[in-house]
């Protein structure tokens, strides 16, 4: 059997708190792994995502991202956490590109705060009535804000503005009802948010696992889609927000969203390595 090293990092931490942010497992060298092995390891670690570093002729590394159930073309906290590990492995410095199924993703660091540039966003209107959406989220119709829609700045997700911070805290998704509202790739997931003043917001992200709906501590891809929502609604640019997420699952997280006057979307957060190990296969 061969030994395969991995690292555990927390992404979107709050003041570099050891038990804050969204945890990620990164395998340092997955060149010999089959897709089935990667999926099996992601299921073994049972984190929201596990990433695998592979050689690339075009970037610092090629990266594959797996949830316990399927492979993803792009995700936010895996991008930032993997970039942090790539720098530690001297595959790149404070400025590097990662090759993913969704394309080339530029990532930059200032210390341990990493920021990725999201792919150009696209959007489409939600085909379900607000009453259906509210029922799926366990909310009242009056809690649904301006123009919930499908956004894609790397991975399509449903972005749902709510009318108050209280509504964000009251959201209790119904698995069966939410299962009827599906993205282009057949997944039912929803990102809800409300503004908390001019430069802050509170957000939650719900996604399926089996017959249950789970909640993510911090979701960089959905934050990028939040930026796409700002563009779709023609909000005044630049947009700069600190987004709090994870308080309802005991993993407080801070994510930083910027939408520039040039309509580019940037998502950043602090990354902290907390452990290393290896598996024998």
| Catalytic residue numbers, as ranges | 49
- What value, to the nearest 5°, has the Cα angle with vertex 194 and ends 123 and 204? 80
Assess contact for 123 and 229: CB atoms under 8 A: yes
Q: How far is it, in rounded angstroms, from Cα 262 to Cα 144? A: 29
**Tokens 């530690």 label which residue?**
88
Q: Using CA atoms in the order 118, 107, 271, 268, what is the torsion angle rounded to 10 degrees?
A: -40
| C-alpha 272 chain-centroid distance | 16
Q: How far is it, in rounded angstroms, from Cα 56 to Cα 65? A: 15
The SS3 of residue 129 is coil
φ, ψ (nearest 5 deg) of residue 233 = -90, 5
Q: Which helix (H) or strand (E) holds 160?
A: strand 156-161
Radius of gyration (C-alpha) of the chain in whole angstroms: 18
Task: Report the number of secondary-structure helices (H) and strands (E) in the chain.
Answer: 6, 17
- What value, to the nearest 5°, has the Cα angle with vertex 208 and ends 152 and 148? 40
For the beta carbon of residue 1, count every other beta carbon within 10 angstroms: 6
Assess contact for 202 and 244: CB atoms under 8 A: yes
């Amino acid at each position: 059997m061969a030994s395969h090293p991995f690292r555990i990092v927390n992404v979107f931490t709050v003041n570099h708190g050891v038990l804050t942010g969204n945890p990620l497992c990164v395998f340092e060298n997955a060149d010999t792994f089959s897709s089935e092995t990667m999926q099996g390891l992601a299921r073994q670690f049972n984190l929201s995502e596990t990433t695998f570093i592979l050689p690339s002729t075009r970037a610092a590394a090629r990266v594959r991202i797996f949830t316990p159930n399927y492979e993803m073309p792009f995700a936010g906290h895996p991008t930032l956490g993997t970039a942090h590990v790539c720098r530690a492995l001297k595959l790149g410095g404070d400025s590097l590109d990662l090759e993913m199924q969704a394309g080339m993703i530029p990532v930059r660091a200032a210390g341990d705060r990493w920021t990725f540039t999201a792919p150009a966003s696209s959007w489409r209107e939600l085909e379900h009535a607000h009453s259906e959406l509210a029922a799926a989220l366990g909310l009242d119709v009056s809690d649904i804000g301006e123009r919930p829609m499908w956004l894609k700045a790397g991975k399509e997700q449903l972005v749902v503005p709510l009318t108050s911070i209280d509504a964000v805290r009251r959201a209790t998704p119904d698995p069966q009802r939410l299962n009827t509202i599906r993205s282009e790739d057949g997944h039912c997931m929803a990102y809800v948010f409300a503004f908390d003043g001019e430069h802050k917001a509170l957000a939650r992200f719900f996604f399926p696992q089996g017959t249950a709906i789970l909640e993510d501590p911090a979701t960089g891809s959905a934050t990028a889609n939040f930026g796409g929502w700002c563009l779709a609604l023609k909000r005044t640019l630049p947009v700069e927000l600190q987004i709090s997420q994870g308080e309802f699952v005991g993993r407080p997280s801070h994510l930083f969203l910027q939408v520039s006057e040039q309509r580019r979307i940037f998502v950043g957060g602090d990354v902290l390595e907390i452990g290393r190990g290896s598996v024998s296969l």
